[in-house]
Structure formats: structure tokens, C-alpha cells
Amino acid sequence: MKVIVENSAKMCIHNIFLNNCNYSINNAIKVDMNINQYLEKLNYFSYIGRYIPEINDKRFKEVIYRRNRKEGYRIMYYISKKKNIVYVFYVINCKQDFNLVLKQNDFYNKYHNF
């Protein structure tokens, strides 16, 4: 499947990188590279992720990149079987409240017609 990284996800990845640069540039580069490797894997293994618990639609999935035991990132995506495309719409720190993110953004309605 083709993977499209939405602008919202690109901004998330950029912000994660900038935030991690405050602590360690080497670590920020490593995390950025690992997240991008997960995105590349979605080309071939689109269904590898779990269903997003906060969304009751099975087309919304996520893979979790664990940086260590205490910290990880949820890479969230939508699978369009009609178009044979995976849309990565958000990358969020596991500590963040995704329900709040859902309320602030309209991701579900955007992909509902795909």
C-alpha cells in the first residue's frame, strides 16, 4: 500500500524532533529516524498495528514506537481499502490524552467517506 503522511503528522514529527533536541540532539535524530522507519514499514505491513482504542472504527490503526519502557509514540493511521492507501494522520506521545486531540481536530470525519 502507498503511505501518505498528512501535514498534521509531519508537524507532529517535527515538534517531537524539536522537543527532543532540547535534551539531546543525538537522541532526537535517533527517535526521528526510528519513527520514519515505522512509516516505511507501513508500505508493506499496513495491518500490523492494533486498532485505536479511542475510535470504534476498525480502519483506524496505530503502531507504537517504544523509545524505552517509560516513553513511546503512537503512530496513528487510516487504511483506505478503496484507494489502497494508508494515511498517517497523527503521531502522539503515549502520555498525551488522545481523546483531547480528537476533540480539537476533525480526523474521524475527514476519513469517514474514504
For the chain, give every domain's residue range.
2-111
Query: Which strands make up the sheet holding 85-93, listed edge to edge?
Result: 2-5, 85-93, 72-80, 60-66, 50-51
Which residue from 89, 66, 76, 91 is spatially nearest to 16, judged by alpha carbons?
91
Cβ atoms of residues 88 and 3 within 8 Å: yes
In CATH, what number does 2-111 get?
3.30.2310.20
pLDDT of residue 54: 83
Tens digits of per-residue pLDDT, 15-56? 999 999 999 999 999 999 999 999 999 999 999 999 988 888
What does pTM read for this prediction? 0.85
pLDDT of residue 112: 55
